[in-house]
Amino acid sequence: MPEDVPVTVVEAGELVNVDPSPSRMRPIPGSRMFEIREALAVYRKTNPDGRVFDASQGDGGASLPGVPDGLLEQAFQLQLEHGTGYDKPFGTEMFRRSVVEDYWRLDAATGWGPTNVISCQGGRDALAKAYEAIQALGHGRWGDFIVVSRVPWISYNWGPYAVGANVMLAPGSEARAWELTPEGIAACVDAAAGMDGRKVAALVITSPDNPTGRTLTPERQLELTRAAFRAGIPFVLFDWIYHRVTDGDPHDLNAFLGAMEPGERERCIFLDGLTKSLGASNIRNAHLVAPERVIRFIQSRASHAVIPSFFSQAVAVAAYRMGFGDAARSIVEPTNASRKVLGSFLAEKGLRHVLGKGYYAFIDVGPWLDAAGLADSAELGAILAEQHGLAVVPGVYFSPWGGRWIRFSYALPPEETAAAAERLWAALEGLGRRPPRQGTRDSARE
């Protein structure tokens, strides 16, 4: 080929098809989470000596002690020893081994080991990489659906969309905290087929859930997984980022993989990391445990994109080697204590709610919205922050089906949780006539 003739990097048959989707896609909105603290600033301006409560956040490093200094010092020592040169796109061998041997303690009988692990620069990076792998290695095309629950984490609405996947909210009953069901999963596959022959590329299962706190037993998660596989969905992605924040047992990956057939394991991707259970949001460390073909796909693309920082891996290794239960105690113990405080409060006041494990309670404020003539929980959120100095997340931020609910974070010291709950109740009573007592719901048993 002459030097003065343009050439393509790949052959003609391998070129990306011309697709006008970017010209007609909906602009992805910024997260409204950042509006909440602005509303609190209004309260501070008019009440300079008033006490404020932030029950909106999902960052234990902001509301609790966060990563212990000793772990950061150990991580820094590891950084000094390691140097500052490039690492591999999967992270480092040391990190992989620590995830397998110190954290999950994976049994060789599962057939999974260090080559099934990839380090990522936080949970969002991990998810974006997983979405690409799911689409390419599943049905092999863009534009299919990622299925999530009816009231999902905000970024589940838009993260897949940003990398070429559409998002479908599964059927779900408010009475059951919008829990996924086998019937709902099958209905999603049928609905996708009716939209220009689209398919479902993956199902996302989160437990404990953000925003609702809904918690599913391993048995229930397996039931949903097999329902997805029967319906022809190639992958199930498990978001377990909150599972260590519990007063019970965290998820057991050995037991989970052991309950599956080898072919089923090859269709599962697991996400976990430091951001929640260690209060390490700005450390930005997460990892995926997945079939080797998925890891190889992500690794090759990461070599041209985001390679995880060593320091974030070093913090994880220091925590895993210590024993993660000990490392995360400063986050997990006060959050567990706050969950008990909040659960008792909600039951005493008769507030209908979902309270499983993790960081969050989802509270039904619909009767108070009606009494005050408010359209949805966004209006209530502004009132709570600006007039009462209490920040929560309006459920409508997650989806319209959460429009009569609020997310209340109890990743706080117990005394802060108790005071914030009292502030919430005082604000609700001030909205108008007190509604009749409501039923409660506690999804911890699930």
> What are the boundaries of each domain within the chain?
33-63+329-445, 69-327
220-258, pLDDT tens digit by residue? 999 999 999 999 999 999 999 999 999 999 999 999 999
**Topology alike, domains 33-63+329-445 and 69-327:** no
Return the structure tokens found at 90: 């999967």
How far apart are alpha carbons 226 and 235 in whole angstroms?
Answer: 10
Residue scoring higher pLDDT (444 or 138): 138
Phi and psi torsions of 159, nearest 5°: -60, -50
The widest CA-to-CA distance across the chain, in whole angstroms, is: 82
Q: pTM here?
A: 0.95
Query: What is the overall mean pLDDT for the chain?
Result: 94
CA atoms within 13 A on the CB side of 357: 25
Radius of gyration over every alpha carbon of the chain, rounded to an integer in angstroms: 23
Identify the sign of the CA torsion 108, 112, 113, 119: negative
Given the candidates 3.40.640.10, 3.30.450.20, 3.30.365.10, 3.40.228.10, the CATH classification of the domain at 69-327 is: 3.40.640.10
Q: Which residues contact 110 (CB under 8 A, 6 or more apart)?
A: 253, 254, 257, 258, 265
User: What percent of the chain is modeled with pLDDT above 70?
Assistant: 96
Residue 117 reports pLDDT greater than 90:
yes
Residue 33 reports pLDDT greater than 80:
no
Architecture category of domain 33-63+329-445 in CATH: Alpha-Beta Complex (3.90)
259-306, pLDDT tens digit by residue? 999 999 999 999 999 999 999 999 999 999 999 999 999 999 999 999
